[in-house]
Chains A and B, each alone.
Chain A
């Protein structure tokens, strides 16, 4: 650990824990809080990869969906405790990420598009009617015998803390210093002795694992879901916009971006979805043009070092 060491990360993790433990007692709609947490987790998970390696996974939702299905299948076909099934969802996504590992050889937009295609392929496979016996095909899966809103809420919180802890580690550790060097110049990073491929793959697996855990917990919380609910591209788009809005490569940027825009979405988006999509489209254009490093860069420009 360098600079201020582990402290900023610990502070952020503790704050998040306190806030999301108290909120359900202040604000009754726990399902909305759960949804919001899910998006904060996905935004942070996407930030792990995009913010710290520069690879933008358009198909990030694929890992979420894979986690949801892996967890549900474990619940349906084994006697494992639900938590173990959720962990199995994370592992399932990591396995998919290992299979998709060669995508990391592509650069820029090629990586993003190939990853998007991969997530679409997963969607078509699981929603295919011929696989109804296993995946439920277009009707999805039902695991209502383990329905437990409280426990799944706490599990999602634990995943949020894990994702945030990882981001803090990437931000403050020597490993993270290596990541920063790699994104700026991979050739020089290699000559500085950094195992660029290994570091990149580790971050990719961590990012996928977070989405898988989140997907598993999301499935558990819903307990009945259609394939589109966990594979819709909208999830990727939201995570990307939220992350860009808050500021990638930081720890708190994605949290702030996801929490604020998700609330906005809930306020006006659900009653007026087209207007909301328009707003998001405009937001992306404005961000790219004027605030490529997100709202947290407003502070950075004033000399505040955003963690």
Chain B
């Protein structure tokens, strides 16, 4: 093993038209680590996830996964390498069964031995295995996104606002699940507006403001950082 981190971004930038959405984003993530990614609406969190997962292509900078540059690779190749994600607005295969949703990823994701039932149990959808994914609630669909990602046996998981709209006990269950995943060695980047939730699972956060990295460190220190406070209050 080299001393390279699992994921490393160096000066990554992205613009849509003339609108610079991410500017010189640089950070790295180690296996088994949970990193929070926070920032006001429109600050570029989802875009960062889209770049790392190959859904969009970075205009500048490099993204390295296990030491090799991966920007420009097709998403399915990144999935095979071990990068996977959930979506802020969940994207299940709506007219396929819940179990089939998992099976597709288990079959094509490069982890053919993956046990769909174990994944369903993990995301707490075993009781809904036979129904169509479109019939699930939005929160269940987010869990199904997570299950689909898990079925590919990922090394890095990008989680986009999985906690929105959940009650405290549901949040607690998800926090436990994410921690279990990290204990298995999976690295997680967790985008979340709910800071209490993040506080439970990580003490390292990256704060974005209008596409720039404002801060990297503990959540507590972030809340005392004047730039961060200004970004959240002043916009």
A interface list, Cβ under 8 A from B: 174, 177-178, 180-181, 184-185, 187-197
* Interface window among B33-41, B79-87, B187-195: B79-87
Q: Which residue from B53, B79, B80, B93 sits with its C-beta under 8 Å from A181?
A: B93
Q: A177-B107, A191-B149 are in contact. Are A184 and B93 (CB under 8 A)?
A: yes
Contact A181 B74 (CB under 8 A): no
Q: Which residue from B79, B100, B110 sits with its C-beta under 8 Å from A191?
A: B79
Let me know if B142 is at the binding interface, CB within 8 A: no
Contact B74 A192 (CB under 8 A): no
CA distance A189 to B108 in the complex (A): 9
Which residue among A180, A184, A187 has the maximum number of chain B CB atoms within 10 Å of its CB? A184
Q: For the complex formed, measure the closest distance between the CB of B60 and the CB atoms of chain A, giving whole angstroms.
A: 23
Residue of A nearest to B54 (CB): A190
Residue of B nearest to A196 (CB): B76
Residue of B nearest to A188 (CB): B91
Contact A181 B109 (CB under 8 A): no
Contact B92 A191 (CB under 8 A): no
Q: A177-B100, A184-B94, A185-B93 are in contact. Are A192 and B105 (CB under 8 A)?
A: yes
Let me know if B148 is at the binding interface, CB within 8 A: yes
Residue of B nearest to A185 (CB): B91
Contact B75 A190 (CB under 8 A): yes
CA distance A224 to B96 in the complex (A): 48
Q: For the complex formed, measure the closest distance between the CB of B102 and the CB atoms of chain A, giving whole angstroms.
A: 9
CA distance A187 to B55 in the complex (A): 7
List, in ascending order, chain A residues with CB within 8 A of B108's CB: 174, 178, 192-194
Let me know if B210 is at the binding interface, CB within 8 A: no
Contact A193 B109 (CB under 8 A): yes
List, in ascending order, chain B residues with CB within 8 A of A193's CB: 76, 79-80, 105, 108-110, 152
CA distance A192 to B104 in the complex (A): 7
Residue of A nearest to B95 (CB): A184
List, in ascending order, chain A residues with CB within 8 A of B95's CB: 180, 184
Contact A195 B74 (CB under 8 A): yes
Let me know if B103 is at the binding interface, CB within 8 A: yes
Q: A177-B104, A177-B107 are in contact. Are A192 and B91 (CB under 8 A)?
A: no
List, in ascending order, chain B residues with CB within 8 A of A181's CB: 93, 96, 104
List, in ascending order, chain A residues with CB within 8 A of B103's CB: 177
Q: For the complex formed, measure the closest distance between the CB of A30 and the CB atoms of chain B, giving whole angstroms.
A: 42
Q: For the complex formed, measure the closest distance between the CB of A21 and the CB atoms of chain B, giving whole angstroms.
A: 37
Which 5 A-B pairs have CB atoms at the shortest separation, nearest pair first? Answer: A193-B109, A193-B108, A192-B105, A190-B75, A193-B79
CA distance A200 to B53 in the complex (A): 21
List, in ascending order, chain B residues with CB within 8 A of A192's CB: 79, 104-105, 108-109, 148, 151-152
Which residue among A177, A180, A188, A190 has the maximum number of chain B CB atoms within 10 Å of its CB? A188
Q: For the complex formed, measure the closest distance between the CB of A200 and the CB atoms of chain B, giving whole angstroms.
A: 12
State which residues 63-80 of B face A: CB under 8 Å. Answer: 74-76, 79-80
Q: Which residue from B92, B100, B110 sits with its C-beta under 8 Å from A188?
A: B92
List, in ascending order, chain B residues with CB within 8 A of A188's CB: 87, 91-93, 145, 148
* 22 A/B residue pairs, CB under 8 Å, sorted by A: A177-B100, A177-B107, A180-B95, A180-B96, A181-B104, A184-B96, A185-B91, A185-B94, A187-B75, A188-B148, A190-B55, A191-B85, A192-B148, A192-B151, A192-B152, A193-B76, A193-B79, A193-B80, A193-B108, A193-B109, A193-B152, A195-B76
List, in ascending order, chain A residues with CB within 8 A of B152's CB: 191-193
Q: Report B128-169 CB contacts with A as 1/0, cut-off 8 Å.
A: 000000000000000001001101100000000000000000
Q: Report B103-124 CB contacts with A as 1/0, cut-off 8 Å.
A: 1110111100000000000000
Contact B76 A190 (CB under 8 A): yes
CA distance A187 to B74 in the complex (A): 11
List, in ascending order, chain A residues with CB within 8 A of B105's CB: 191-193
Contact A194 B76 (CB under 8 A): yes
Q: For the complex formed, measure the closest distance between the CB of B157 and the CB atoms of chain A, giving whole angstroms.
A: 11
